[in-house]
Structure 1
């Protein structure tokens, strides 16, 4: 049995899709559907059961689940603007500790979603070496909650037994429900559909022109393949960056969306809200040497390749969800 927390969400439902492609359907999806439309991510997928996240830990502690092979922990509050620190501590930190303890006791594979938000403004670099973890200073509470769990794993000596993946800017199918946290690829697509142009934030940094702020964008399908590799390669553990490995500008991303749609580019630069200016990352890039040297060997989509696939095979279609049968 495989358990996927956040299994109706963006990366979580994507991994259920990946498991289905591997012929695995003995899956428990853990999530909180609430009033969202995340349930649509599950319609095409095959799994054994759905459990609300608040019910799951008590049932786990009552030892209701046998033969658990893995827990893929993608469930978290991922909003970088969430201000309820106690909620983030409970939901992102303590919940993760409980799952890690269970996996270690059950000899089950534990793969956790950390975040590039742990790197803060990037001034301390983006190294995923274990020696670098304690030096990081996240800019928001979400990043701090992820940082605290990575530090807990390190302090308990567990980094040789589990995997914690620092996801950078992931884009791809199954993200429509994320509202303001959707990727700029999807936001740009919608803006182009509605207005024929895209709005990007102006730069307030003298070293970056408008739209030339850089991010490491990585396609969801590549992340899923890496996660599947870790699931099957239990001898490789630790904290790993998960990005493309090269930084691209917002302008390059938007141009790729226009090209995939076959439309002439038009970009408008707008003022950034004041409350975001002091917490804005102008550059992120994931050094991928550690993952590459581990033997993973997966070929990633370039930004242009990933956006073309996402736009033409998903966003341009009425049913833009991953299909677990294909």
Structure 2
């Protein structure tokens, strides 16, 4: 069996689809299934069992001999949430318990970290372990992910294989439920379809013109391919960036969304909301050399191609991956 936590969410549900496509059908999905708006992400999937996240460790104690691999992708991902208690509970302490269970039962583990750990990017975007204690995330979400990364690398006892993945700006199908936290591509599609225009955040940094803020946008299909690769290549444990290695502007993103919809571009700007203005990242770009060094050689999807696929094959028809 393969365990996937956060399975009804965005990235994890796409991973389940990828596993099913490779005929892995004994999949145990773990989540808070009371959040009904996410359940459609698992519709039609071939699954072994549903396990509530609060009951998972009791379940694992009974079934660990049947488990082959754990993908721990469940987390509270709201970057505007300010309650450290919430992040300590769901992101830090739950992940510690997962790690310790994988050590106890000798299970391989891939878990979700985040590019939010890099904060303003003053130290760059290298996933070298020596930089981990020096990183200063800009919000409690990023802090919770960085706290766990730092805790993990200092543990004397580790799973026989483990990998933490620092997700950059992931976009793609199955993010319909995420609301404000959905990708800018999703919001661009909604605005363009409804108003024939798109409003972006104005730059409050003199080094960047309006719309020229840059992020490393990575298609979710590439993310799950990396997860699948790591399940089959367990020689090199560690923390890895997961982006494309190429930063693109929000104007690039928006213009390509207009193009995918066959609409004439009409772009406006508004002030960045005050609750995120001081913690806004103006530039992210993953250093992908570490993942490449362990043999991952698939090309990453160009932003133009990813947006075209996402818009035409998922957003327009309202389809799921």
TM-score tier by shorter-chain length is over 0.9
Aligned residue in 2 for 1:118:
117
1:53-68 equivalences in 2 (<5 Å): 53-60=53-60, 62-68=61-67
Q: Please, what TM-score do these two structures have when normalized by structure 2?
A: 0.97
CA distance in 2 between counterparts of 1:146 and 1:42 reads 26
Aligned with 1:8: secondary structure?
coil
1:29-68 equivalences in 2 (<5 Å): 29-60=29-60, 62-68=61-67
Aligned residue in 2 for 1:226:
226
Distance 1:160 1:212, change over 3 A: farther
Mapped pair 1:265 → 2:265: yes
CA distance in 1 between counterparts of 2:295 and 2:312 reads 32
1:39-68 per-position Cα deviation (integer Å, ceiling 9, x unaligned): 1011121111111111112333x4344321
1:209-220 equivalences in 2 (<5 Å): 209-220=209-220
1:276-315 equivalences in 2 (<5 Å): 276-315=276-315
Aligned residue in 2 for 1:178:
178
Cα pair 2:245 2:285 within 8 Å, conserved: yes
CA distance in 2 between counterparts of 1:59 and 1:68 reads 11
Shift of 1:160: 7.5
1:1-326 equivalences in 2 (<5 Å): 1-60=1-60, 62-157=61-156, 158=158, 161-318=161-318, 320-322=319-321
Aligned with 2:71: secondary structure?
strand
1:75-128 per-position Cα deviation (integer Å, ceiling 9, x unaligned): 000001112211210110111111112222222210000000000011111110
CA distance in 1 between counterparts of 2:36 and 2:282 reads 31
Cα pair 2:109 2:159 within 8 Å, conserved: no
Aligned with 1:174: secondary structure?
coil
CA distance in 1 between counterparts of 2:26 and 2:42 reads 14
CA distance in 2 between counterparts of 1:130 and 1:228 reads 23
Aligned with 2:101: secondary structure?
helix
Runs of at least 4 residues of structure 1 off by over 3 A? Answer: 157-161
CA distance in 1 between counterparts of 2:46 and 2:127 reads 34
Cα pair 1:10 1:173 within 8 Å, conserved: yes
Shift of 1:2: 0.6
CA distance in 1 between counterparts of 2:300 and 2:16 reads 20
Structure 1: runs of 5+ lacking an equivalent: none
1:144-192 per-position Cα deviation (integer Å, ceiling 9, x unaligned): 1111111111110449831000000000000000111000001000000
CA distance in 2 between counterparts of 1:107 and 1:304 reads 42
Cα pair 1:115 1:166 within 8 Å, conserved: yes
1:121-144 per-position Cα deviation (integer Å, ceiling 9, x unaligned): 111111101111111001110111
Q: Please, what TM-score do these two structures have when normalized by structure 1?
A: 0.96
CA distance in 2 between counterparts of 1:170 and 1:273 reads 21
RMSD of Structure 2 on Structure 1 (CA): 1.2
Cα pair 2:149 2:164 within 8 Å, conserved: yes
Cα pair 2:103 2:159 within 8 Å, conserved: no
Cα pair 2:102 2:159 within 8 Å, conserved: no
CA distance in 2 between counterparts of 1:44 and 1:269 reads 40
| Number of aligned residues | 320
Aligned with 2:97: secondary structure?
helix
